[in-house]
Amino acid sequence: MSDNDTFKAFEEEFGSITSSLARKLSSIPLQQDQDKETLISEAEADIADANNCLNNIEMEIRHYQYAQKTKANNTLRDLRSKFDQQKQEFDSLKKGRKTPKSDDPKHRDQRNRLLGVKKHVDDTTLSLDNTTRTLQETAVTGAATSVQLQEQREVFIRSRQNLRDTDDVLARSRKLLIRMRRRLVTNKLISFIIIMVELGIIALIVWLKYYK
């Protein structure tokens, strides 16, 4: 995995953690005491995970080259700023600076409506997360398929070039065979002519010796 892929993985992990933390922070003021304490504990766990993720990112970018490290540090600075705001909001909620409205019927109905809206938002967020994950998986699959198609295309190109080279070799071989066959026929014809001349000379010598 390249440095960019590793950094992006940490950044996506941090984004998932802070999104979960943001949902908990928005829910804490709407909960009763017991549920609120549960959410606070879960938020504290998210904060710890986010801190660990930021530390991992900071360690990861230490060996980057200057230009890449500068860009990564700017991104890390933005992530820390966002996270610091969330921690301040959490500290404020934990200290009771944001208190839920009184539990009279009017406020209880309003709280129930807010909870219904929150549940709808959470469901929508979860659906969007699933859709995003599916799109990312599809993108990865598409990229892998594209690489495979490119490799197959290169194989086809090499195969076509090999076929062309083979055709050239066969053509040269065919021309060589034709030249060899012509040379063989020519040699046979010359040999035949030489034999006929020799036979003629022998016949002339015999005729001159015995019949003249």
Query: What is the per-residue pLDDT for 192?
Result: 93
Q: 18 exposed, middle or buried (CB, 10 Å; 0-12, 13-18, 19+)?
A: buried
What is the architecture, at CATH level 2, of domain 1-100? Up-down Bundle (1.20)
Q: How many CB atoms lie within 10 A of CB 14?
A: 21
Quote helix, strand, coil % in the chain, to nearest 5.
Answer: 90, 0, 10
Q: What is the pLDDT of residues 98-117, one digit of tens each?
A: 444 444 565 566 667 777 77
Query: What is the per-residue pLDDT for 100?
Result: 44
Maximum mean pLDDT: which of 74-78, 115-119, 177-181, 204-208:
177-181
Domain ranges within the chain, ordered by starting residue: 1-100
